[in-house]
Amino acid sequence: MLKRIEFACGGMLLVAVVILVAVASVARAMGSPIIWSVEMAQLIFAWLCMLAADIAMQEDRHFGLQVMREILSKRASHWLEIINILVIIAFLVFLLNYAWTNMVLMHPRLVGAAQINASYIHASMVVGILLMIRTMVSQLIRRIRNREVN
């Protein structure tokens, strides 16, 4: 259910950025540029990238250790996957601290003509990292349970 909601939000953000860029391009060609379009496109694109990264992680479409999995035995490969997931979770938790600090520091800064707080753009990192941690924890649980069944 959550995956479908994320996918729908990502689709809506993609459509929004495409429409915004198209309208801004036409307006600029007609001599009446939309001065806040760049800031809004950045905001939408940052959120879209973080949602897309989480969706890719959910579907195991991020980089992996396929070469190592083919070389190692099934049991060793299973443990390598678990260790890999634990490393990724640790890295994401490490990054979460800096993403949160960056978001807080960027709140007083106003972005360009839109005059929105820069923290709205930087909040995408915090939310995206939290989503990816959730995804990796669920994959870790799934992999541990699958090993017990096998």
Q: Are 69 and 80 in contact (CB under 8 A)?
A: yes
pTM score: 0.84
CB 12 within 8 A of CB 6: no
150 residues of the chain, pLDDT tens digit each: 788 888 899 899 999 999 999 999 999 899 888 888 888 888 899 999 999 999 988 887 766 656 677 788 888 888 888 898 999 999 999 999 999 999 999 988 888 777 888 889 899 999 999 999 999 999 999 988 886 544
Taking the C-alpha atoms of residue 89 and residue 65, their distance in angstroms, rounded to an integer, is 16
Q: Which residues of 53-92 are buried (b: 16+ CB within 10 A; e: fewer)?
A: bbbebbeeeeeeeeeebeeeeeeebbeebeebbeebbeeb
Three-class SS of residue 112?
A: coil
Task: Identify whether the C-beta of residue 17 lies closer than 8 Å to the C-beta of residue 46.
Answer: no
- Contact assessment for residue 91 and residue 136, using Cβ atoms and an 8 Å cutoff: no
